Structure 1
Amino acid sequence: MTSFRMKRPLFSGLAALAVSVTTSSAWADPQDYQFQLVQTEVKVGDGAIVAVRLIDKKSGKAVPDAVIFAKRIDMAPDGMEMMASPIEQVSSTEPGVYRFKTKLSMEGGWRLSLGAKVQGETGTVEDKLVLKAVP
């Protein structure tokens, strides 16, 4: 009987610890973040710069040091999803602002799709933004 009485509080304590670790590690959700275009209109041409800001929706603050691992730009808003352009991330001097260099070959609607990891968070932040290429 003694060993059963000792194991029961130990098991209860371990179960409580497991629950607290599980709930405390989930501080934020990927839906707590969103990308926003710095400018909704960008000039047509090779070397066009598209800038976005990653925002923590709970605090309203910009989120620096995210790792952008997926990026695509295409003309899906104008019904031409297959018309995609190469895109590369370039440096930014403003924390929480991420800049991309691309070729906007024609006027119209362009969709920027991004996937990112926020430091210290689990899950992936994904967003699709629509901008307009202008002359």
Structure 2
Amino acid sequence: MTNSSMKRAAAATLAAALSVATLSTAYADITDYEFRLVQTDIKQGNGAIVAVRLVDKRSGKAVPDAVIFATRIDMAPDGMETMAAPIEALPSTEPGVYRFKTNLMMAGGWRLSLGAKIQGETGTLENKLVLKAVP
């Protein structure tokens, strides 16, 4: 085998390896992420803190720096969807954990609805999480 044919064979092998690697690369999708409640039972009352962790379901790792642009908390699990409470974002205490302050005025089931954009991903992540306000 001549030097030039060895180079061509090596180049062809490299090209084949790169195309296989490109085809087998798994791309993330917005459905690969989800919010999870840090605690499902939260003390009832004004100033209640609800914390959620944004997780990459493929690796189980927390995802920091998401932009949460939609939040709502209401009593839909107890059949009172129109009973909503104000909710405000708080600073995070750890990467990938997002905290909110709200008024869980009644004990019972509450639904936290979140809408977020994740850096580097297309689409919008939307999750509805159910928690319980306890006396």
Under TM normalisation by the shorter chain, which class is it? 0.7 to 0.9
Q: Which residue of 2 aligns with 1:59?
A: 59
Q: Please show how residues 104-115 of structure 1 align to structure 2 within 5 Å.
A: 104-115=104-115
Deviation at 1:28, TM superposition (A): 1.6
Q: Which residue of 1 aligns with 2:38?
A: 38
Q: Which residue of 1 aligns with 2:90?
A: 90
Query: What amino acid sits opposite 1:132 in the alignment?
Result: K
d(CA) in 2 for partners of 1:27, 1:118: 14
d(CA) in 2 for partners of 1:79, 1:93: 33
Deviation at 1:92, TM superposition (A): 1.2
* Aligned residue pair count: 111
Partner SS, residue 35 of structure 1: strand
Structure 2, unpaired ranges of 5+: 1-22
Q: Which residue of 1 aligns with 2:130?
A: 130
CA offset digits 1:24-50 (Å, max 9, x no partner): xx9321110000000000011111000
Partner SS, residue 77 of structure 1: helix
CA offset digits 1:65-122 (Å, max 9, x no partner): 0000000000000000000001011001200000000000000000000000001111
Deviation at 1:55, TM superposition (A): 0.2
Query: What amino acid sits opposite 2:125 in the alignment?
Result: V
TM-score scaled by length of structure 2: 0.80
d(CA) in 1 for partners of 2:69, 2:27: 22
Structure 1, unpaired ranges of 5+: 1-22
Partner SS, residue 89 of structure 1: strand
